[in-house]
Amino acid sequence: MNPSPNILIVDDHPLFREAMALVITTELPGAQLGEASTLPMALQRLAEGPVPDLVLLDLNLPGVHGLEGLAEVSAAAPDAPVVIISAEEDKQLILQAINAGAMGFITKSAPRERMRQALRQVLEGNIYLPPDIVRGSSSGDSPSRNTPQISEEALNRLTERQLRVLERMAMGESNKQIAWALNITETTVKTHVSAILGKLGVNNRVQAILAAGEWLENRKSRRTD
């Protein structure tokens, strides 16, 4: 992770920009911060360069509807990871944002430590999902069209160690955090993640987490009964 990342905060509320800047400078004292209060201003900053290491993008900017802002920022700076920041906490909206290319979704009600965790994970190249995105999965939820359905047979093919890695992935932990928690190396974690994706027939860790969420919750419940 770059110890001095260039981060662009795009939000129309100055108090929130100030609060987010404080979180960032506390976690990353050398970070270079840019701010924009509107989408056109953000696009201008992106055009002027340099490409930021991270864009924190408010979902509900003035004159912007749905995920239009994400699409325009991604088109203007395709190499810059974008994390959505929003007061919205709807699960389907979060899934839509991830499927549309966001590297993460932070709710404005999230505690400061969770915001710091999200920043760390995305800057390390991982996707950040709110912990509650997996919890609460139920048959009543409408599955995302881009989320594959994984059979229980496929999940049962995972080894116990792979299941433990998957569980910690579902908690939003990075490879480094998983390695520390399970007392294994990051290289071993990466090997397990690759094996998990292959056995489940998915393309990335987010698909694995979302598709296996309810099964993981049931497994956890069985262990605590």
User: CATH 1.10.10.10 region(s) of the chain?
Assistant: 152-222
User: CATH 3.40.50.2300 region(s) of the chain?
Assistant: 6-135
Fold held by 6-135: Rossmann fold (3.40.50)
The tens digit of pLDDT for each residue in 153-184 reads 888 889 999 999 988 887 767 788 889 999 99
Strands (DSSP E) contained in 109-171 are none
Say yes or no to pLDDT of 36 above 90. yes
Banded pLDDT at 128 (limits 50, 70, 90): confident
Query: What does the alpha-carbon distance between residue 17 and residue 31 come to, in Å, rounded to a whole number?
Result: 15
Those residues whose C-beta lies under 8 Å from the C-beta of residue 154, and which sit 6 or more positions away, are 199, 200, 201
Between 93 and 55, the higher pLDDT residue: 55
The tens digit of pLDDT for each residue in 71-86 reads 999 999 998 999 999 8
Q: CB atoms < 10 A from the CB of 212, how many?
A: 26
pLDDT, position 223: 64
Banded pLDDT at 38 (limits 50, 70, 90): very high
Domain boundaries 152-222, corresponding CATH code:
1.10.10.10
Residue 5: closest CA among 140, 125, 97:
125
Beta bridge partners of 85: 58, 106
Between 158 and 139, the higher pLDDT residue: 158
pLDDT, position 1: 61
Those residues whose C-beta lies under 8 Å from the C-beta of residue 193, and which sit 6 or more positions away, are 165, 169, 175, 205
Banded pLDDT at 140 (limits 50, 70, 90): very low
First and final CA of the chain: distance in angstroms? 41
pTM for this predicted structure = 0.69
**In contact, 56 and 85? CB cutoff 8 Å:** yes
